[in-house]
Chain A
């Protein structure tokens, strides 16, 4: 008895047991089930060349904003303004492209300038929301809800005043001339489809190569999620983000700049929303005041499905990626399975959201020792 030490009480786990205890495991299992079910139910159409491209397009859209929402939730805050921020920044880009920006002497038709102005606005707004939250001590739920209304209203009003309509369409296709527009709205990973074609697949009816590449947002999602994963799990700032969400007083007592961390993350969600809008504007050459509606809620739902705790301090970017794949595939399922009613999508999201909340709560209890 007496020669037993504390270290003896820890059971050695196999690699498989360790994997099963990872927080992403729930999101991963659901994703596998959905992928398999969708493959069979759609007669594999969901994963033919075009199906794959379209699915990844929506998965990447969800993935980009859910990454931002998850990082912020890990630090213990919410941002409900993501959807309105998408509409707002998309409007700014389209308007600068169409009319230019006279205060800075910018003529119409400059993608880089349009993007820079929209991104500056997004980062400033993110900073403002974050600063209000940390200074006032109000719930970020309420502060960002205010910005949800404010930005959506401002978007619609500005559109009507300047453009007479809440839509802009028929912009020239900037991707033809501008590498910058191509980078945001063009195609990437063409080599995958080229190889597919070389191997005898990816053929259209005439026997030519069918699909030439993925939407550029696929790459942006990988970049944003990869960077977020790296920062959160491997760096000092990541440690500060987790600490801020876990117990901000304890973090502050140890010298973590809690307020700066939070403000920075509100700027990051605004950044993600602006990237979402930029990919959309340069892909379709249109903008619409209603763009991004409700997407803040999907972003939060996906973050939770991916294993992020509502109370902060815990979550995994990898899990969020699995969540984005799951929700993206189900959102698109109606296009591949004709007999399905599209409204079941939301029933499904509601169901897995609830299941995920319960699962996450169990994980939290296990880690905190049960309270």
Chain B
């Protein structure tokens, strides 16, 4: 069997007395979408922040292509090929598409002068590759649609060498059509075959449309995992709700 690009073993993360993650295991493979599912507060964002070098694990080990790694900062994680698209996207609203695309990694000539024309062209081409043919690279990000912003953040992560693309609820704030745009983008990235995607969502349908593997978190622990096809819809629904049966929930609702 193929080597996972990124593997997580027995990851524990404590915030003082609070255990946010309690021994989590996870493996992600190139060309696959790994759906990470679970209720609010299950620990999904904490998990990916640890993968992205924002948090340091309390215990447990990360492996990249089988080799143990320790991330001391987000820069370390980026250098190891982990590209994170946060829920808030880390975009600067008042600044142009191009300036956002290259933020912190600007192409510059002598005296630190920006190679603006080249940067405009690359930003345009990279976004076109994954599905947005936007017109004006000088447009401020604040005026873009939510789906376009997601695409910008994803294109940026890929261009700067992401081998694992982490998407934290990329569809949650979007309308139907825009959600589909983002799913199409995910599908296109998956098709390239060389990038592993971790896709966090609360939407069961979305997870099944693009997901190849599933991991379910509840209260900081993995309560279920499996490949697409191995899990039934009902099973997925049950695990997403943290292990409770739908009919129990229906019963609780009726009792109010």
List residues of A whose CB falls within 8 A of some B CB: 5-10, 234-240, 242-243, 246-247, 249-251, 253-256, 309, 313-314, 364, 367-369
CB neighbours of A368 from chain B (8 A): 93-94, 140, 142-143
Can you identify 6 A-B contacts, CB atoms within 8 angstroms?
Answer: A6-B135, A236-B106, A246-B92, A247-B91, A255-B105, A256-B104
- Picked from B78, B92, B143, the residue with its CB within 8 Å of the CB of A251 is B92
A255 pairs with B104, CB closer than 8 A: yes
Structural contact, B99 and A234, CB atoms closer than 8 A:
no
Contacts of A314 in B (CB 8 A): 94
Query: Which of B89, B90, B95, B114 has the most C-beta atoms of chain A within 10 angstroms of its own C-beta?
Result: B95
- A15 CB, nearest partner CB in chain B, Å: 15
Contacts of A237 in B (CB 8 A): 112
- Nearest CB in chain B to that of A8: its residue: B135
The answer on a CB contact under 8 Å between A246 and B133 is no
Q: Are A367 and B108 in contact (CB under 8 A)?
A: no
A residues near B105, Cβ cutoff 8 Å: 254-255
A234 CB contact (under 8 Å) in B89, B103, B113:
B113
The one of B103, B113, B132, B140 in contact with A6, judged by C-beta atoms closer than 8 angstroms, is B132
Q: How far is it, in angstroms, between the C-alpha of A251 and the C-alpha of B93 when the chains are bound?
A: 11
The answer for the CA separation of A314 and B55 in the assembled complex, in Å, is 32
How distant is A104 from chain B, measured CB to nearest CB, in Å? 33
* Central interface residue in B75, B140, B142, by most chain A CB within 10 Å: B142
**A239–B103 CB distance below 8 A:** yes
- Do residues A255 and B90 form an inter-chain contact, with CB atoms below 8 A? no
Of B74, B92, B112, B134, the residue contacting A250 (CB under 8 A) is B92
User: Which residues of A lie under 8 Å from residue B136 when comparing CB positions?
Assistant: 10
Residues in chain B within 8 A of chain A (CB atoms): 74-75, 78, 86, 88-95, 99, 102-106, 108, 111-114, 116, 132-136, 140, 142-143
A309: B residues at CB distance < 8 A = 94
Closest to B98 in A: A239
For A253, the chain B residues whose CB sits under 8 A away are 74, 86, 90
Assembled-state Cα–Cα distance A144/B55 (Å): 33
Are A10 and B94 in touch, CB under 8 angstroms?
Answer: no
Most buried by B among A235, A309, A314: A235
Q: Least Cβ distance of A241 to chain B in Å? A: 11
**Contact status B75-A255, CB under 8 Å:** yes
Whether B135 contacts A7 by the Cβ 8 Å rule is yes
In the complex, what distance in Å separates the CA atom of A5 from the CA atom of B131? 11
In chain A, what residue has the closest Cβ to B148?
A: A6
A211 to chain B, nearest CB (A): 37
Question: Are A235's CB and B112's CB within 8 A?
Answer: yes
Chain A residues with Cβ below 8 Å from B78 are: 255
Per the bound structure, the CA–CA distance linking A309 and B142 in Å amounts to 15
